[in-house]
A and B are shown apart, each in its own frame.
Chain A
Amino acid sequence: MLGHILGRLGQALLVMLVMSALVFVGVYAIGNPIDVLIGPDVSQDIRLDTIARYGLDQPLYVQYFTFLGRILQGDFGRSFVFGMPVLDLILSRLPATLELTLAAVCGAALIGIPAGIYAGYRPDGLAAKAIMTISILGFSVPTFWIGLVLIIAFAVELQWLPAGGRGETFAVFGVEWSFLTANGLSHLLLPAANLAFFKLALMTRLARAGTREAMLSDTVKFARAAGLSEWTVLRRHVLRLIAIPLVTVFGLEFASTLAFAVVTETIFSWPGIGKLIIDSITSLDRPVMVAYLMLVSFVFIMINFLVDLAYVGLDPRLRRAGSR
């Protein structure tokens, strides 16, 4: 068991190291950061001085190890555009993205799972067919398009909800949150719905497939034979049977929703890290790009690692295989 965890941890570290090298070479070796740092009309002395100060005259591998050493100390450098430490910049934007992502994934689960269970429980009903058709649309239609339609419908035509920004925020322990004020909540609603749409389709399909299989299982047959009401059967047995795959997907999807937030944040001008990375790509803000990529890779690798661990915890067969 412990050996298995250590092995996976070693693998995760190795992947992280490979990612850092790829990101470093990709971002720092393409193009010349000096042209972004100083204007073209400065004297040769200042130019050489700046190059030496940033260590750009060193061979690439030396630069890479310096970069790696700094990262390990939590120093990602300074943003060219904002002039502040990148780590502070990203941490100041992170709550907005986390809030949006959590709202989207939870909303998708709360609507998608009951809808999916119903569609799996009565697969031939009219409602079930409607649910499945909508879920196919959810898969096919690009996220940014749904965002546009939401803005046209609810912000431009009906004028019920604002189309952009975070609205009023409320500070808890120095972190600003939108969902704690009525105004902020109304700003959160559209982007969260937008981000939730794709996940909703996924959750619905998973829950439906799981329920259809679970309804045929002996557990359900015996539960019905024992005289339990259909509602109790669904809630106590079917939901439990389909919970494990749903929880796994929930975790993995949370990570990928963080990535998808890039699109939604751009459309709704939501000031999170997704908007930050798009802005930094267009303004060639290299330190921000590097830090964002490293952070996202880290989150992904950690979540995959945790899901692996959860499998070992949930599936007794894997546990035994590890201890042998």
Chain B
Amino acid sequence: MSQALPTKEPLPAKEVSPTARFWAEFRESKVAVGALVVVVLMLGVAIFAPLVAPQNPYDLANLVLMDARRPPGFIGSAGYTHILGTDAQGRDLFSAILYGLRISLQMGLIAGSLAFTVGVTLGVGAAYLGGRWEAFIMRVVDLQLAFPAILLALVLSALLGQGKTQLIAALAAAQYAYFARTAHGAASAERSKDYVEAVLSTPLPAWRVVLKHIFPNCLPPLIVVATVQVASAIALEATLSFLGVGLPVTEPSLGMLISNGFQYMLSGRYWISIYPGIALIVLIVAINLVGDRIRDQVNPRLKR
């Protein structure tokens, strides 16, 4: 494809599906493929944490206080090496990180999906309805975008109280506006196209037009926003848990592990905080790199 001029190349004999073409293009960036591998790997160990981890860090019977706060490489009383050391309760840090990754990913994905659903419904709905509703919804969304997400999440989790459900609600409420903004932009561009007018003149119900015709065409930019927002939901959750207003102590996410280790850091026991932090950063940076690549692919200005 050269520039914007339409070329009259004959169609290739074999039809390539858009997904396959997308994947072939994605593979051209080695960094992005590497990042994707990291994301998939981390998802894998998070899902199968009970099988991968050397101990169940939250079964009190497994914990030996004598093993507490040992540096990486320490061979504990259970006979295996704590490759990343142990925390203040004698927990194997590697196992704790795997379980923490599980909770962090879970929170990020659930909050991200919720924000996606609410935001896209509002954004596409506003673009479809038009008029006063559109003005009202987008005004509220714009207003909310003026406030940083961290402040909203902080305030909401303070008001709603601690708990998994409350935190998911707070994260989603802080993030849905980004989806709504993007969906509205894409959907209003689609709304004014001829094919939508054509489908609307048929007796098909409106919801079908929105769901089957407008929504799929808004997907590419939304996927980009979704990857970035899942990463930022994970970071936000970690920040809130670190500040002590996020998840309850019974749900130790990566943020809480870092927070637990913080008090030992000044005495030089860096590993209790540092390793969960590295896991968190690798996850977030990897997701963002994948998102960056997809953004470049979706952006028509960068098309060769």
Contact = CB atoms under 8 A, between A and B. Distances in A.
Interface residues of A, number: 38
A7 interface: no
A296 B151 contact: yes
A281 B285 contact: no
Interface string B267-280: 01010011001001
Interface in A128-175: 136-137, 139-145, 148-149, 151-152, 155-156, 163
Contacts of A256: 148, 151
B166 to A, nearest CB: 11
B265 A262 contact: no
A278 interface: yes
Given A136-B285, A136-B288, A142 B235 contact: yes
A277 B143 CA distance: 23
Interface string A295-317: 01100100010000000000000
B42 to A, nearest CB: 15
Contacts of A155: 266
Contact of A259 (B151, B159, B242, B265): B151
A156 B277 CA distance: 17
A33 B235 CA distance: 32
Contacts of B243: 144, 262-263, 266, 278
Contacts of A156: 265-266, 268, 270
A163 B244 contact: no
A152 B244 CA distance: 21
Nearest to A163: B266
B64 to A, nearest CB: 27
Contacts of B158: 281, 289
Interface in B235-269: 235, 238-239, 242-245, 258, 262, 265-266, 268
Interface of B: 143, 146-148, 150-151, 154-155, 158-159, 161, 231, 235, 238-239, 242-245, 258, 262, 265-266, 268, 270, 273-274, 277, 280-281, 284-285, 288-289, 292
Given A277-B154, A296-B151, 16 more contacts: A140-B235, A143-B239, A144-B242, A144-B243, A144-B258, A145-B277, A148-B273, A156-B266, A163-B266, A260-B148, A262-B150, A262-B243, A263-B150, A263-B239, A263-B242, A300-B146
Interface of A: 15, 26-27, 30, 136-137, 139-145, 148-149, 151-152, 155-156, 163, 252, 256, 259-260, 262-263, 266-267, 277-278, 281-282, 289, 293, 296-297, 300, 304
20 contacts: A30-B159, A30-B161, A140-B231, A140-B235, A141-B285, A145-B277, A145-B281, A148-B265, A155-B266, A259-B147, A262-B150, A263-B150, A266-B243, A278-B244, A281-B158, A282-B244, A282-B245, A289-B158, A297-B147, A300-B146
